[in-house]
Amino acid sequence: MSTAQGSSATATATATSVPSQSSVLASDNKLSQSTTTKTTKTTESRPKKVNEFNDGREKPHYTWGQSWKDWIKQSWSSNYDNSTIESRLLSQLPFYPESDGKRRASVVNTDIGNGQFIHEFYIENIEKDETPDICKEIVLVHGYAASLGLFIDNFDSLSSIPGTKIHAIDILGFGLSSRPKFPNLASSSKQDIYKVEDWFIDPLETWRQKRGINKFVLMGHSFGGYLSCAYALKYNKTITTPLTGLQSNLIDKLVLISPVGVERNKYSFLKKESNPRISLEQEVLADQEDIVEGKPLEEPPKTRTRQLFDYMWEKNYSPFSIIRNSGPVKSKLISRWTTHRFAHVYYHDQQSFQNMHDYIYRIFNGKGSGEYAITRVLAVGALAKLPLIDRCPKRFVDMKLPTLWIYGDKDWMNDEAGLEMTNEINDLSIDEYSKKLASFKIIKNAGHHLYLDNPPDFARVIFKFLNLK
């Protein structure tokens, strides 16, 4: 796949030194030791969640025969290379590859050095911008083991506002970006975790500079949300607009879409409270009076399956290595996810479903790279070793950075932690500026991939937060 270098950046930021992770570490240490909040506990009764994997949706059946056919085509047909399959998926949009007169789009591979590149789908709305004072340049970051194509149902709506520019990227080590060998990094200290984060966010900053992006809205889903927060903590800064001379943040607003790694937990290197969140398994098995009275609870005995899972997690095994070595079974394994996630597409348009399934096949079977970071940054149970809630509130308030924390009503991610994060940020911002900086929203009829499950409501919430509609 050829790599066309992206445009060079124009220097517009005020001269500031790049922050070191040691300075960030010192800041996190200070915050974890001294920051206090006045967060009000939410007492209203919240409806019990319906698990998105048991919500009654009818899943299509992907046959073993089809899996064999996919393996043959994907392995030997020239019509099933990465760029062809991605183009087939993106061509479902009304403005790609040909413009619809209002928007134009292109695939860009930006050289970031060391023989590596960041893959991007760029969309620009070329209609007259009636509100040039509102930032409409959006950088969209996917989640773990995902890629930019998963936002296929959002590109049309998000690019509908005149003047909008969408940069949907594959982060280094995922999707169709370069997949260098992931280094054998340790994960036993704060400094170790920062090195893992830097492996992703430093190339992201290089890409931003190469693309000449100087003020933007950063949106990240799941692990991409976690990395977006890490990027903001390290790289957000004050910039000066060349034409007006006005100062603003590099990141105008930050949108976290069901981010992982928010909540405090027992695995944290930033211990801040003595009573970590009670696990679902403990809550079911424990005496409820003990929970109410705050008595310590015993961990339930681990099953052999759980012990094996924990062992594999701690040894940094990747489930995608199993898929990559499954031969003709690959497509059948992948269909377990695609037939659930895209069941609605299958029953509406089987060819569109197949386009997405083929695309996911390529993504999941790519060379192992960034996927090996997850077990270093997160402990068993997808709990962050450096929880965002102990890193972000005061720093985001000091930056005056508006944030939106958004979840699905069937989301398996911990939305209560997102609400707590919102409250902690707002407690601090009200004290400091007499206004709220954080917003929290739940999207109905949606799970962890809420942008896929309910694109119209997702777009409405985003537009409202960005003051676009």
Q: Which residues pair with 441 in a beta bridge?
A: 406
Residues of the chain with CATH 3.40.50.1820: 21-31+82-303+370-465
- Provide the CA 350 distance to its chain's centre, in angstroms: 28
Give DSSP secondary structure letters for 120-147: EEEEEE-S--S-TTS--EEEEE--TT--
At 337 the pLDDT is 79
Pick the CATH number of 21-31+82-303+370-465 from 3.40.50.10540, 3.40.50.1820, 2.40.40.20, 3.40.140.10: 3.40.50.1820
At 254 the pLDDT is 99
At 311 the pLDDT is 65
Pairing state between β 247-249 and 238-240 = antiparallel
How many Å apart are CA 210 and CA 60, to the nearest integer? Answer: 43
Note the helical H segments in 60-189: 64-76, 82-90, 155-158
User: Is the Cα torsion angle 397, 400, 401, 407 positive or negative in sign?
Assistant: positive
Q: Which residues pair with 303 in a beta bridge?
A: none
User: CB-based contacts of 197: which residues, under 8 Å, 6+ apart?
Assistant: 227, 230, 377
Mark 337-346 as b/e (b = at least 16 C-beta within 10 Å): ebbebbeebb
Q: Dihedrals φ, ψ of 168, to 5°?
A: -95, 115
Cα–Cα–Cα angle for 292, 420, 255, rounded to 5 degrees: 155
At 54 the pLDDT is 64
- Starting at the edge strand found earlier in the chain, the sheet holding 116-125 runs 103-113, 116-125, 165-170, 137-141, 216-221, 251-257, 403-408, 438-443
Tens place of pLDDT per residue across the chain (469 aa): 444 444 433 333 333 344 555 454 455 554 444 444 444 444 334 555 666 666 666 777 888 788 888 888 888 888 889 999 999 999 999 999 999 999 999 999 999 999 999 999 999 999 999 999 999 999 999 999 899 999 999 999 999 999 999 999 999 999 999 999 999 999 999 999 999 999 999 999 999 999 999 999 999 999 999 999 999 999 999 988 776 788 899 999 999 999 999 999 999 998 754 344 444 344 333 333 343 333 444 455 667 766 766 766 676 666 777 777 777 877 888 888 788 888 888 788 889 999 999 999 999 989 999 999 999 999 988 899 999 999 999 999 999 999 999 999 999 999 999 999 999 999 999 999 999 999 999 999 999 999 999 999 999 999 999 999 7
* Helix, coil or strand: residue 168: strand
With contact defined as beta carbons under 8 Å apart, do 455 and 463 qualify?
no
Mark 190-224 as b/e (b = at least 16 C-beta within 10 Å): bebbbbbbbbbbbbbbbbbbbbebbbbbbbbbbbb
Task: For the chain, give the longest Cα–Cα distance.
Answer: 65
